[in-house]
């Protein structure tokens, strides 16, 4: 029963991993994932993320994502201050359990435009994102996973289940997301603030098209501030907050980065602490070399799931390359 309980928890959790759900902790690097308009610089960027979460020491799921974004500018345009620009992005992600029971995949394409509204590289931007999400559940190797296969004395051997998930389940749908933001890239301080709506088209979450299977539109707020001292030390605060119907998920991160002197092209090391609301503390380390950033993060579970006697831990690796 313990394994079955964990599987059902995982299904409830990973079935929410649609569109702009906050799956990855370096929200300052994955801003476009959560709000398409938050392409706040004029560099090409590639982000790769890997997250491994284990429940009860046995059941685990892995999340991976790749995101590429680029401004549609030539070399001269990238160096020109206070000039508007279009950006495009493409991404893919997957959530999968280690035994193949759950498998969620996502593909994304997006476009945004930023227009200058003041000095110091201050912009107002809007973006649109189209995604295709697919979720599947394979219970072929799991015996008696549902309640109607049990009686007062335990599992009923060979009993079929009336639950639609018992024979396996797979469904896909398109998401439409939109966002607006304002951001500034000053010499000593950089900041952004955005708001987004995801699943605006309210897609159906099941093959039966009914009001009860239609997904609610979700809303998100994103913000960040980074201050750079005269010695190039950096202090930053970042947040991403999501709401969808009665569900919500919020994440906050505080970081400090210190440059390493004498390294050609620049290098730095940083420490940070994230907080996923009512879920986990996320201590993290950041390593920089020239235009490459590597983040190492670890989830410390503080959620109520521990009251059920289920332990959980997670490790995350994040890579960002500007070019």
Residues 217-241 have pLDDT tens digits of 999 999 999 999 999 999 999 999 9
Q: Is residue 287 part of a domain?
A: no
CATH number, residue 230: 2.40.128
For the beta carbon of residue 140, count every other beta carbon within 10 angstroms.
8
Q: Does residue 255 belong to any structural domain of this protein?
A: no
pLDDT confidence bin for 314, thresholds 50/70/90: confident
Q: What is the pLDDT of residue 143?
A: 62
pLDDT at residue number 141? 63
Specify if 254 maps to a domain. no
Please tell me the predicted confidence (pLDDT) of residue 3: 47
Identify the burial level of 204 via C-beta atoms within 10 angstroms of its C-beta, where 0-12 means exposed, 13-18 middle and 19 or more buried: middle
Q: Percentage of the chain surpassing pLDDT 90?
A: 57
Residue bearing tokens 């300052």: 28
Question: Which of 1-10, 80-89, 161-170, 178-187 is the least confident region?
Answer: 1-10
pLDDT exceeds cutoff 70 at 208: yes
**Does residue 14 carry a pLDDT above 90?**
no
pLDDT for residue 57 = 61
Query: What value does the mean pLDDT take over residues 199-218?
Result: 89
Q: Indicate whether 144 pLDDT > 70.
A: no
Q: What pLDDT, on the 0 to 100 scale, is given for residue 37?
A: 97
Taking residues 95-101, report their average pLDDT.
79
Q: By C-alpha distance, which of 66, 71, 70 is closest to 24?
A: 66
Spatial separation of the C-alpha atoms in residues 138 and 169, rounded to whole Å: 7
pLDDT at site 16: 41
State how far the Cα of 165 lies from the Cα of 163, in Å rounded to an integer.
5
Is residue 256 domain-resident? Answer: no
Confidence of residue 20 (pLDDT cuts 50, 70, 90): low
Number of domains in the chain: 1
**Is 99's pLDDT higher than 80?**
no
Question: Is 272 inside any structural domain?
Answer: no
DSSP character for 304? Answer: G
Q: Is the pLDDT of residue 122 over 90?
A: yes
Range of the domain at 147: 2-249
Would you say the pTM of this structure is higher than 0.85?
Answer: no
Digit-coded pLDDT (tens) for 49-76: 999 888 776 667 789 999 999 999 988 8
User: Between 294 and 163, whose confidence is greater?
Assistant: 294
In a domain, 270, yes or no: no
Q: Is the pLDDT of residue 158 over 90?
A: no
Residue among 228, 289, 217 at smallest CA distance from 256: 228
Is the pLDDT reported for residue 106 higher than 50? yes
- What does the alpha-carbon distance between residue 287 and residue 260 come to, in Å, rounded to a whole number? 10
Q: What is the pLDDT of residue 1?
A: 45
pLDDT value for 133: 94
> Would you place residue 180 in the very low, low, confident or very high pLDDT band (cuts 50, 70, 90)?
very high
Instruction: Look at residue 296 and tell me if it is in a domain.
Output: no
Whether 262 maps to a domain, the answer reads: no
Amino acid 206: pLDDT: 80
% the chain with pLDDT above 70:
82
């Amino acid at each position: 029963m313990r394994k079955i309980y964990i599987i059902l928890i995982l299904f409830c959790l990973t079935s929410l991993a649609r569109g702009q759900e906050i799956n990855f902790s370096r929200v300052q690097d994955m801003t476009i994932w959560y709000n398409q308009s938050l392409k706040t610089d004029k560099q090409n960027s590639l982000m790769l993320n890997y997250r491994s979460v284990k429940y009860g020491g046995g059941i685990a799921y892995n999340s991976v994502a790749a995101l590429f974004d680029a401004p549609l500018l030539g070399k001269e345009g990238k160096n020109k201050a206070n000039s508007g620009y279009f950006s495009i992005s493409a991404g893919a992600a997957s959530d999968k359990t280690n035994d193949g029971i759950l498998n969620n995949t996502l593909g994304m394409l997006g476009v945004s435009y930023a227009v200058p509204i003041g000095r110091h590289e201050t912009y107002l931007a809007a973006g649109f994102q189209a995604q295709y999400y697919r979720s599947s559940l394979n219970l072929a190797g799991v015996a008696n996973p549902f309640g109607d296969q049990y009686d007062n004395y335990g599992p009923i051997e060979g009993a079929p289940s009336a639950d639609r998930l018992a024979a396996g389940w797979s469904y896909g749908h398109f998401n439409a997301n939109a966002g607006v933001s304002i951001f500034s890239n000053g010499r000593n301080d950089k900041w952004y603030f955005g708001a987004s709506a995801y699943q605006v088209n309210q897609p159906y979450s099941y093959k039966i098209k009914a009001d009860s299977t239609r997904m609610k539109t979700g809303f998100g707020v994103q913000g960040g501030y980074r201050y750079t001292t005269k010695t190039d030390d950096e202090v930053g605060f970042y947040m991403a907050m999501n709401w969808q119907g009665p569900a919500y998920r919020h994440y906050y991160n505080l970081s400090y980065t210190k440059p390493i002197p004498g390294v050609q092209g620049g290098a730095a090391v940083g420490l940070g602490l994230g907080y996923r609301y009512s879920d986990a503390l996320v201590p993290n380390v950041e390593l920089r070399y020239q235009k490459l950033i590597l983040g190492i993060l670890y989830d410390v579970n503080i959620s109520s799931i521990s009251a059920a006697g289920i332990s959980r831990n997670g490790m995350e690796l994040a890579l960002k390359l500007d070019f």
